[in-house]
């Protein structure tokens, strides 16, 4: 055997284990059904994780299902139609208090940059008295946000009428159709509406302090049986968070948001500066602090959704998955 033939044989032999590992990874790719609402900037880290292959990096095949409301996401998780899903903090508490064995394993966002945007003829909150507004739902977290924002303009919830749609895209469509006077919108849809001539009446950040907005939820049974799977999902998501939160990735992050939400480049740019430039809403570690989550319970108590004795915050989350994910990420190459 000549030297060239020997070298080729050795190279082929060295390649076999690599190919075998690649085939094993493809064969071992694990399926996960995840629920979310219509994609908005709140999903930015998840969209990045999809676009940049972070889920595939850990051998995951995540099927994202668009669901009409956070209540429906919670219901489908409990029913087993979804493995995990993004659920608002108020919806999670209500579901758990109703008997659902479900909790957070990773926090997604804190106080979100919602705005109330109205048709052009309405200049201030007081102008909305007696008008029809659209929010997420009667027990949705946006109900609390709407109450806080309207109160800054001297309005009570009883001063207006409501209709409901779970996703920002659907609420934006209702505003543009003229069927509602105002809508509670998440970026970049609020910027789009304002650029089209509608009026921003106020922002949530002007009406209330930091508030745990939402997180990744799962049933207790699924968590116990799929801990490794959830850790890898969480690592993929947290890589997306770190990417978005890094100003060096601003241009690429904006490109991804434009692609995945059909936002205009200018609206996406303003959204990035609002979310990241003015203090990130994406929790870098994903860990949930009991004292912070207590604000959710207090808010629901004020709305009479919860009555004393109030449940402890720790009933609604388990940080074990996200803490392990952070520990493993610290040992992995970037």
- Give the model confidence (pLDDT) of 253-294 as tens digits: 999 999 999 889 999 999 999 888 766 789 999 999 999 999
The pLDDT, as a whole number, for residue 19 is 39
Confidence of residue 26 (pLDDT cuts 50, 70, 90): very low
Do 152 and 291 belong together in one domain?
Answer: no
Task: Report yes or no: 204 and 42 within 8 Å, Cβ to Cβ.
Answer: no
C-alpha span between 199 and 283 (Å, rounded): 30
Q: Tokens 């940059």 label which residue?
A: 113
pLDDT at position 211 is 85
Give yes or no for a cis peptide into 187 (omega within 30° of 0).
Answer: no
Residues 310, 252, single domain; the answer is yes
The per-residue pLDDT for 6 is 36
Number of domains in the chain: 2
Q: Is 120 in the same domain as 106?
A: no
Domain boundary among 206, 227, 247: 206
Q: What is the CATH number of the domain that holds 174?
A: 3.40.190.10
How high is the mean pLDDT of the chain?
89
- Which of residues 151, 175, 206 is at a domain's end? 206
- Closest to 108 (Cα-Cα) out of 4, 208, 37: 37
Can you give the pLDDT at residue 1? 44
Per-residue pLDDT, averaged over 71-90, amounts to: 95
pLDDT tier for residue 323 given thresholds of 50, 70 and 90: very high
- Boundary of a domain, candidates 185, 206, 227: 206
> Considering the domain boundaries, does residue 158 fall inside one?
yes
pLDDT in tens, 62-74: 999 999 888 899 9
Alpha helices in the chain (DSSP H): 3-28, 44-51, 54-57, 70-79, 89-97, 141-151, 168-177, 189-195, 220-225, 227-245, 250-261, 265-272, 290-302, 320-331
* Within-domain flag for 258: yes
Rounded CA-CA distance 176/182 in Å is 10
pLDDT at 18: 38
Average pLDDT over residues 194-220: 92
Q: What percent of the chain has pLDDT over 70?
A: 91
pTM, rounded to two decimals = 0.80
191 closest CA partner among 133, 269, 249, 244: 269
Percentage of the chain surpassing pLDDT 90? 75
The answer on pLDDT for 311 being more than 80 is yes
Q: Would you place residue 304 in the very low, low, confident or very high pLDDT band (cuts 50, 70, 90)?
A: confident
Please check the confidence at residue 172 and state whether its pLDDT lies above 90: yes
160 with 150: CB under 8 angstroms?
yes
Query: What interhelical angle do 141-151 and 89-97 show, nearest 10?
Result: 130
pLDDT at position 278, please? 65
Write out pLDDT tens, residues 222-239: 999 999 999 999 999 999
| 257 shares its domain with 158 | no
pLDDT at 280: 72
Range of the domain at 202: 115-206
> Does 93 fall in a domain?
yes
């Amino acid at each position: 055997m000549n030297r060239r033939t020997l070298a080729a044989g050795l190279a082929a032999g060295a390649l076999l284990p690599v190919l075998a590992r690649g085939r094993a990874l493809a064969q071992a790719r694990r399926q996960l059904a995840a629920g979310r609402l219509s994609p908005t900037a709140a999903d930015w880290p998840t969209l990045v994780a999809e676009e940049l292959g972070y889920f595939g990096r850990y051998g995951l095949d995540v099927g994202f299902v668009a669901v009409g409301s956070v209540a429906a996401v919670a219901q489908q998780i409990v029913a087993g139609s979804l493995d995990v899903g993004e659920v608002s903090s108020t919806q999670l508490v209500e579901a758990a208090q109703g008997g659902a064995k479900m909790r957070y394993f990773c926090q997604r966002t804190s106080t979100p940059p919602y705005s109330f945007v109205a048709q052009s003829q309405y200049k201030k909150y007081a102008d909305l008295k007696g008008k029809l507004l659209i929010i997420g739902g009667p027990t949705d977290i946006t109900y609390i946000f709407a109450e806080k924002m309207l109160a800054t303009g001297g309005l009570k919830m009883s001063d207006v009428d409501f209709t409901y749609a779970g996703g920002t895209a659907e609420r934006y469509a209702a505003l543009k159709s003229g069927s509602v006077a105002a809508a509670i919108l998440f970026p970049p849809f609020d910027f789009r509406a304002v650029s089209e001539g509608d009026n921003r009446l106020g922002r949530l950040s002007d009406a209330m302090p930091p508030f745990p907005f939402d997180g990744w939820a799962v049933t207790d049974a699924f968590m116990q049986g799929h801990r490794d799977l959830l850790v890898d999902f969480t690592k993929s998501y947290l890589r997306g968070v770190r990417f978005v939160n890094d100003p060096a990735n601003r241009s690429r992050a904006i490109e991804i948001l434009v692609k995945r939400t059909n936002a205009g480049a200018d609206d996406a740019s303003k959204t990035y500066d609002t979310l990241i430039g003015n203090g990130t809403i994406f929790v870098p570690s994903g860990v949930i602090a009991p004292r912070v989550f207590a604000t959710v319970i207090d808010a629901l108590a004020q709305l009479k959704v919860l009555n004393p004795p109030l449940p402890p915050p720790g009933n609604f989350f388990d940080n074990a998955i996200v803490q392990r994910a952070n520990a493993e990420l610290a040992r992995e190459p970037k």
